Amino acid sequence: MSDLANNPLLKSLTLQDQAIPFNEIKVEHYMPAINAAIEEAKKNIAAIKAQKETSFENTIVALEQASEKVDRISNIYFNLFSAEANDAHQALAQQISPILSAFSSDVSLDEVLFQKIKFVYDNRTQLNLKNEDLKLTEKTFKSFSRNGALLNSAKKEELRALDQELSVLSPQFSENVLKATNAFEMWITDVTDLDGLPEGVREAAAMAAEQKGKKGQWLFTLQAPSLIPFITYSAKRELREKLWRANSSKAFGGEFDNQNIVKKIVTLTAKRAQMLGYKDYAEYALEERMAKDSATVFKFLTNLLEPSKKAAEKDLKEVKEFRKQLEGSDEIKPWDFAFYSEKLKEQKYAFNEEELRPYFKLENVIEGVFEHSRKLFGLTYKLNTTIPTYHPDVKTYEVYTEKNEYVGLFYMDYFPRETKKGGAWMTNYREQGMWSNSVKRPHVSIVCNFTKPTPTKPSLLSYDEVRTLFHEFGHALHGLLSQCKYRSLAGTNVYWDFVELPSQIMENWTEEKESLDLFAKHYETGATIPADLVAKIKKASLFQSGWMSLRQVSFAWLDMKWYTTDPAQITDVDQFETTAMEVTRLLPKEQGTNMSCAFGHIFGGGYAAGYYSYKWAEVLDADAFEYFKEKGLYNAEVAGKFMNSILSRGGTAHPMDLYKEFRGREPDPNSLLKRSGLL
């Protein structure tokens, strides 16, 4: 018992605003803490079931709070699984996931508990439930019925076994992708093999090599800050191909092969959906989305596919002709497109992405994003170095309103490392809403993989990285500005195809001189970014927009195909992907490469049958940003509406109702095609 009393995951938190004591948590603390938390939650649920009278408070609200510790501890574990996990931490997922899945099944399949929930749900009108109370009741009932509460006891046991099996597959998929990413290294010993690479990229590669004890060499990896500049700028075609092939065959064959895991995931998710009365997994997932069903999603994607493909064919033709002029050959392979496209952009717009880096020193961009949110929403940020973090790179801020009201804690984690998965994401360590009978403010985190500082230069971001920071910051604001009563309805707990609106709208400001002036200052001279360079960013933003649009549509199309096809018909992962993507493909398929085996969004990240959400929300964000452009980029009235109707409301109302409250009408479906120059 004494061990449990000292377990940092269970101790009552004394740090500022009950921040997590990351510095004290060790891998061996998780299992005892989770087991103890589950025991406590089971007692809480037994107490709910034992109540003689059934009410909203003693059933729905009590259940919302019954497993707080389980939620908090598992949340810490899985957040660090993605952001800072050694082998021992990763391996623990194979134990933790089934235990959590079993507990979740115990709750959602409990007949007595469900009857009490059903009583409150059936009597919601007589009980005079309104607003969030009503929404929470409906959500709880729906969640139970979507997780098997209406099945007979034999089917419940079958579902329980399915969920157990599924619970270990996603973490295993993600672990394989991370290990496959880390396993590849491209060493360069001849300086001529660096031809075309910007100085900062060379320096970062030399630093990476030196950290591995090989001074005088250069190391390139599959981490985005290494991979993307190499594919874009390297004049060595065979090396671009080597790196592209390695990246495009991650976890496809070899030691970290994900093919069987992919087949298992789609088989089990389809079986689960059918047991619950749905045609396939997509139908199950889309029931709680703005799009509502697969037919709507396919129609939406088809409407984008035609103009995107037409424009992308033009883009490809232009790049082929450009290469022919330069070198006499018009052959374009997948590892050539970014390279020649970048050179063509330079010629057309006298603009090179690398010209922008000196204006995007990381610290300045962070200050800019803070100032941006102050001008829009009146927020201020205070660095707090006394709050523990899980890695020295992580910075923690306390967030306040201009009236000095406390908003929440904000963690920022910027750079790649071998213990962190690729990409960028926002997450919570504590959702805003009710914890132990009182409404608490959120603890929000954004995790990125940005260009690191080198011995001679600070971290200078690419323009794409600046957009990524603004994007994730939009998600963070959705979490921080939440003003809900119940955490299940708070912050980013909204329909999946609505969750990208707050993030994607923020990217729009990165093309505007007025907002770039807040932070885009040359790291050496302090000079503000010149107007002609901003004009070039704007012009170049439509360059190859068909190609970029088709790329996103192709990912969404593949996702929908995986989750609407009968898995019994899928015998070969690669064959299935090749056929599914035929309609979106412009370049021939390269043998030995496969995207699905590393498609973390849909097999390891919660976007299954939901990747279309990025394009869906682009329609919303294009339409919403028009409103800001009409009234002023930092117009207080429009910003106030966006905060009060969207950012603060979480999932307390239907997204379309919230959007109409903000905009005064439904979104214009053509706004995205107009903005992308595809209409």
> Is beta strand 443-447 parallel, antiparallel or unpaired with respect to 406-413?
parallel
Q: From its phi and psi, is residue 240 left (phi > 0), alpha (psi between -120 and 50) or beta?
A: alpha
Instruction: Using alpha carbons, select from 612, 597, 592, 497 the residue that is nearest to residue 265.
Output: 597
The pair of structure tokens assigned to 441 is 């403010």
Angle at the Cα of 78 from the Cα atoms of 477 and 649, rounded to 5 degrees: 25
Question: What helix, strand, coil percent values describe the chain, rounded to 5?
Answer: 60, 5, 35
Residue 397 to residues 26, 104, 149, 420, Cα–Cα distance (Å): 24, 34, 42, 21
Q: Which residue has the tokens 């500049």?
A: 229
Between CA 484 and CA 313 the distance in angstroms is 47
User: What is the CB neighbour count within 10 angstroms for residue 249?
Assistant: 20
Q: At 608, give phi and psi (nearest 5°).
A: -55, 130
* Structural contact between residues 417 and 390, judged by C-beta atoms closer than 8 angstroms: no
The pair of structure tokens assigned to 330 is 């018009």
* Catalytic one of 283, 431, 472, 618: 472
- DSSP for 442-496 reads -EEEEE--PPPP-SSS--B--HHHHHHHHHHHHHHHHHHT---SSGGGSTT-S-T
Residues 6+ apart with CB under 8 A from 6: none
The pair of structure tokens assigned to 253 is 């064959």
CA-based end-to-end distance of the chain: 67
Query: Which residues are registered as beta bridge partners of 406?
Result: 400
Q: Which amino acid is at 360?
A: F
CA atoms within 13 A on the CB side of 124: 18
* Structural contact between residues 611 and 556, judged by C-beta atoms closer than 8 angstroms: yes
Instruction: Using alpha carbons, select from 614, 468, 464, 607 the residue that is nearest to residue 553.
Output: 614
Residue 625 to residues 191, 375, 508, 512, 548, Cα–Cα distance (Å): 46, 16, 7, 12, 20
> What's the alpha-carbon Rg for the chain, to the nearest Å?
25
Residues 6+ apart with CB under 8 A from 469: 365, 366, 369, 424, 446, 448, 450, 461
203 is catalytic: no
* Structural contact between residues 269 and 567, judged by C-beta atoms closer than 8 angstroms: no
Task: Go through 653-664 and write b for each residue having 16 or more CB atoms within 10 A of its CB, e for each that does not.
Answer: bebeebbeebbe
Query: Which residues are registered as beta bridge partners of 219?
Result: 187
DSSP 427: E
Q: Which residue has the tokens 């607003």?
A: 131
The pair of structure tokens assigned to 335 is 């590892």
* Structural contact between residues 594 and 576, judged by C-beta atoms closer than 8 angstroms: no
* Structural contact between residues 587 and 634, judged by C-beta atoms closer than 8 angstroms: no
The pair of structure tokens assigned to 452 is 């690191």
Instruction: Using alpha carbons, select from 394, 401, 408 the residue that is nearest to residue 439.
Output: 408
Between CA 47 and CA 53 the distance in angstroms is 12
Between CA 578 and CA 317 the distance in angstroms is 23
Q: Which residues are catalytic?
A: 472
